[in-house]
Amino acid sequence: MRSGRRLPTLTTIATDDELIPMYPIEIPRHDLYAGIHKALRHFMLDTLMRVGCLETRDAAETGAVLGQVEALLAQCGGHLRHENDFIHPALEDCRPGSAARVAADHVDHVEHIASLRTDVRRLRAAPPEMRAAEALRLYRHLALFVAENFQHMHHEETVHNATLWAHYTDDELGALHGRLVASLAPQEMFDAARWMIPAMNPSERAALLNDMRDNAPAPAFAALVAHVRPHLDATAWSRLAPEIGYAPAAEPA
């Protein structure tokens, strides 16, 4: 995968032991992290808010919110496995040791995910008089998890991207991303799109969905658009629809 050549750079970013060339923001590069990290931030913040305002006396609401927590934890677990399997080997191949810090973070995240699942079970099993206290416990622990992940993702988006961009061409990074996406189960892609597409800016949404339209069966693409549409406000949909071949006033089939 390595091209054997370093791409031109104008600035650097400091790591613990050296300066890594980093592209200035006006030079676009293939970013392996941008889309999925927007999805995760969106999913995390929405879930944290819902746990924080949960009415624990409402069984249906409690079940729905805890289901969302569990879905978030499953997506976070899958995401770190994909990074371990695909991105970290590319980092280590071009700069040995460059993935070590984040790999250690991932071990901690697995433990934190397991702990949060225990908090969910505690709340589900709690007697009525203890549910508010258990919900607050979950909220605080989830907030710490979100905070840690925001810092973690920033490191990947800066230090890891700088390393990748210094050693790989955009074609090579695109091929790596293609292999990662090809490894995903259809439902996993569907679930990620629900949070990713609303979190993107209009240009990113259109580019992603047009790529999906070009590479997916028409019924699958229509199902994806119908899945995401309820999570876009009227302005976002009016901007997106003509870019992907839909009439702005029309609902997806």
**What are the pLDDT digits (tens) for 124-141?**
999 999 999 999 999 999
The full set of domain ranges for the chain reads: 11-184, 200-253
Produce one character per residue of 164-190: b if its CB has 16 or more CB atoms within 10 Å, e if not: bbbbbbeebbeebbeebeeeeeeebee
Give the per-residue pLDDT at 15. Answer: 53
Give yes or no for residue 170 having a pLDDT over 70.
yes
Give the per-residue pLDDT at 10. Answer: 40
Q: What average pLDDT does the structure give for the chain?
A: 90
Average pLDDT rounded to a whole number, residues 109-116 = 98
Give the per-residue pLDDT at 253. Answer: 54
pLDDT tier at 8, thresholds 50, 70, 90: very low
Average pLDDT rounded to a whole number, residues 170-175 = 97
pLDDT tens-digit readout, 194-213: 999 999 999 999 999 999 99
Q: Which of 16-20, 28-32, 165-169, 231-235 has the lowest mean pLDDT?
A: 16-20
pLDDT tier at 216, thresholds 50, 70, 90: confident
In the chain, what is the straight-line distance between the N-terminal and C-terminal CA atoms, in Å? 41
Pick the more confident residue, 187 or 8.
Answer: 187
**Would the CA dihedral through 197, 34, 92, 152 be positive or negative?**
negative
pTM: 0.88
Average pLDDT rounded to a whole number, residues 30-40 = 97
Domain 11-184: which CATH class? mainly alpha
pLDDT tier at 22, thresholds 50, 70, 90: low
